[in-house]
């Protein structure tokens, strides 16, 4: 696994004050895990990664020239958007698919995946946020990109995009307002699911440190090809720029004592 990197940091201007994240960007696995006992088709499904998000995040990162962290391993191996003590960190079954390589799993293997994949990804996120804060002298804006399925258990989802959040609405309210302004898309507010999940990426790196943030989900069938990615990059880039230009979002002090992300 020496040639397998659990994260990729895309370059950008750290003094921009904006950081992008994509926890579930890729569906890759190290060779030693094979396909976790699953058919190859499983890795083209949402259970393995967030369809369309890698391309969208790369496009936005390049266009905005901002530092970005991509997760490089499949969520089927271990989910970077879960806390280390979350029982769903390594899934035994996902949307009806039993994952033989995850059950049974020894304590040693569970801890190995945390140590080799989960923690290095989060260390990269911490370093990137800290470097941005140091370059600007204030709290950065962190936006996490995900995608969701067009339907769940046979029920269509009407939202084109959704903003998920916990209790910090500083970046959320203007983001939703900007997304809804053209009037041509349906935007969910903590739909199709709630964004409050203790220990997830936004909780760990932003909620606990007082950093303004939001998690944006785009429906997967809208970004499943190059044309869709380009269209959503065109839509989102000026919105992200506008949010980041709002001085109100950067007036807050970081709270290093409340997180392990910013050691002295």
Strand 93-94 and strand 187-189: the pairing is: unpaired
pLDDT at 252 over 80: no
Measured in degrees and rounded to the nearest 5, phi and psi for residue 122 equal: -70, -30
Contact 140, 17 (CB under 8 A): yes
Measured in degrees and rounded to the nearest 5, phi and psi for residue 159 equal: -75, 140
Residue 168 falls within a domain, yes or no? no
CATH value at residue 245: 3.40.630.40
Specify the DSSP element, H or E, that contains 7.
Answer: strand 7-10
Contacts of residue 138, Cβ cutoff 8 Å, sequence gap at least 6: 17, 250, 251, 252
- Average pLDDT score over residue span 42-52: 96
Residue 217 falls within a domain, yes or no? yes
For residue 251, the model assigns a pLDDT of 65
Residue 156 falls within a domain, yes or no? no
DSSP string covering 189-212: ES-SS----TTSHHHHHTGGGT--
For residue 235, the model assigns a pLDDT of 98
Q: Which domain holds residue 138?
A: 7-147+197-258
For residue 88, the model assigns a pLDDT of 95
Question: Per DSSP, what are the bridge partners of residue 187?
Answer: 161
Residue 186 falls within a domain, yes or no? no
Tokens 């806390």 map to which residue?
A: 83
Residue 179 falls within a domain, yes or no? no
What's the structural domain count of the chain?
1
| pTM score | 0.94
pLDDT in tens, 211-249: 999 999 999 999 999 999 999 999 999 999 999 999 888
Q: Residue 2: which pLDDT band, with cuts at 50, 70 and 90?
A: low
**Token pair for residue 226?**
């190059």
Residue 264 falls within a domain, yes or no? no
């Amino acid at each position: 696994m020496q040639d397998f990197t659990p994260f990729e940091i895309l370059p950008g201007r750290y003094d921009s004050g904006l950081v992008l994240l994509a926890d579930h960007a890729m569906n890759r696995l190290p060779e030693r895990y094979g396909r976790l006992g699953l058919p190859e088709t499983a890795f083209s499904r949402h259970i393995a990664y967030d369809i369309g998000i890698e391309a969208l995040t790369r496009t936005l990162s390049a266009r905005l020239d901002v530092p970005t962290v991509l997760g490089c391993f499949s969520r089927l191996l271990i989910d970077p958007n879960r806390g280390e003590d979350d029982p769903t960190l390594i899934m035994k079954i996902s949307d009806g698919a039993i994952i033989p390589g995850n059950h049974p799993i020894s304590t040693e293997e569970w801890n190995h995946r945390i140590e080799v994949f989960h923690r290095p990804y989060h260390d990269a996120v911490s370093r990137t946020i800290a470097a941005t804060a140091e370059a600007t002298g204030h709290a950065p804006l962190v936006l996490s990109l995900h995608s969701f399925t067009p339907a769940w258990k046979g029920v269509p989802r009407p939202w084109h995009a959704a903003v998920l959040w916990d209790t910090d609405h500083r970046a959320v309210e203007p983001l939703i307002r900007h997304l809804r302004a053209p009037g041509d898309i349906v935007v969910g507010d903590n739909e199709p699911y709630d964004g409050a999940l203790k220990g997830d990426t936004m909780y760990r790196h932003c909620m606990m440190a007082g950093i303004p943030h939001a998690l944006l989900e785009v429906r997967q069938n809208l970004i499943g090809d190059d044309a869709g990615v380009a269209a959503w990059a065109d839509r989102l880039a000026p919105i992200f720029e506008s949010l980041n230009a709002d001085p109100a979002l950067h007036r807050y002090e970081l709270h290093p004592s409340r997180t392990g992300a910013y050691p002295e």
